Structure 1
Amino acid sequence: MNKKHVQHLMTDYKRYAFVLLAVSVFLYIGMLIPAQGQEPSAIKEYVMMGTTSVFLAAAFFCFKRSITYKKRLDEQEDA
C-alpha cells in the first residue's frame, strides 16, 4: 500500500471510531433517562446495554486499526 492510501485508512478508521463512540454515549444516556409515562422494561434495558456494548467494542476495534495503520505509516516514513 502506498503512503497516501494508508493515511486515508488511518483517518477513516479514526472517524468511524469517534462516530461509534458518540452513538454509544447517546444510547447509554437514553437508557439512563426514564421514558415519560412508561414503565421501565428489563428487556429494553438489556437490548440498549447490549447495543451500547457492541458499539463500544466496534469503536475499540476501529481505534486499534487506526493505531496499526499509524504505525505502518511511521514505518514507511522511516524507510
Structure 2
Amino acid sequence: MKAQHIKAKIEDYSRFIYVLLAVSTFLYIGVMIGQGEKSDMQLGIMEAIVILFAALAFYFSYQTKKLKKELMKEKE
C-alpha cells in the first residue's frame, strides 16, 4: 500500500517537473523575443517566474530522487 502511494507521488512529481520546465521554457523564449514590446517590469516579472519555475522543477526532482530511494528501501 505504501509503495503504491510512493509510486503515485513519483509520477505526480515527474509530471510537475515536465510542466514547470515547459512553461518556464516558453516564458524564457517570450523574454528573449520582442524585448522592445514589453516594459521592464513585465520582463522582470517573467524572468522571476522563469527562475521560480526552474527552482520548483529542481525541488520536485530532488523529492523524486528521495522517494525513489525510499521505494528501494521498501522493496528490501
Question: What TM-score, normalized to structure 2?
Answer: 0.90
Structure 1: give runs of 5+ residues left out of the alignment: none
Identity among equivalent pairs (%):
36
Report the count of equivalent residues.
76
Runs of 4+ residues deviating >6 angstroms: none
2:50 counterpart (46, 49, 52): 52
* CA–CA distance in structure 2, aligned partners of residues 3 and 46 of structure 1: 42
Structure with the higher fraction of residues in helix conformation: 2
Cα shift readout 1:44-72 (whole Å, capped 9, x = no counterpart): 11111001011111111111111111110
The alpha-carbon deviation at position 40 of structure 1 amounts to 4.0
* CA–CA distance in structure 1, aligned partners of residues 44 and 28 of structure 2: 11
The alpha-carbon deviation at position 39 of structure 1 amounts to 4.1
Question: What TM-score, normalized to structure 1?
Answer: 0.87
Give the aligned residue type for 1:27.
L
